[in-house]
A = this chain, B = another copy of it.
């Protein structure tokens, strides 16, 4: 699964590449599931309820992006870089509670 360019972008600007990566199905959920501690492949699979095929593919994307790494001892975990990204996302948790009161998304 080799791609020559950033999906959906001709600019190659980092923010576009990042939004593209984060916009792939299950990527945000995977990062979220790893927020507290390392998780095993099957744990992640069960937690998000996706097929092993796609869990594996997305973990590969995240590892290539240096956001996630596999520690054989403990499982998949966020890298230092991945941890930084997660911290940027943490405010979403609180905000989502407020948002849920206004909108009821499908």
Chain A interfacial positions (CB closer than 8 Å to B): 1-3, 6, 8-10, 14-29, 32, 48-50, 61, 64-67, 81, 84-85, 88, 91-93, 95-97, 99-100, 102-103, 105-106
Contacts and interface: CB of A to CB of B under 8 A. Distances in A.
16 contacts: A2-B106, A6-B106, A8-B48, A14-B97, A15-B92, A17-B96, A17-B105, A19-B28, A23-B26, A24-B25, A64-B105, A65-B99, A66-B99, A81-B103, A84-B95, A88-B92
Q: Count copies of this chain in the complex.
A: 2
A106 B81 CA distance: 17
Nearest to A19: B28
A58 B24 CA distance: 14
SS class of chain A's interface: helix, strand, loop or mixed? Answer: helix
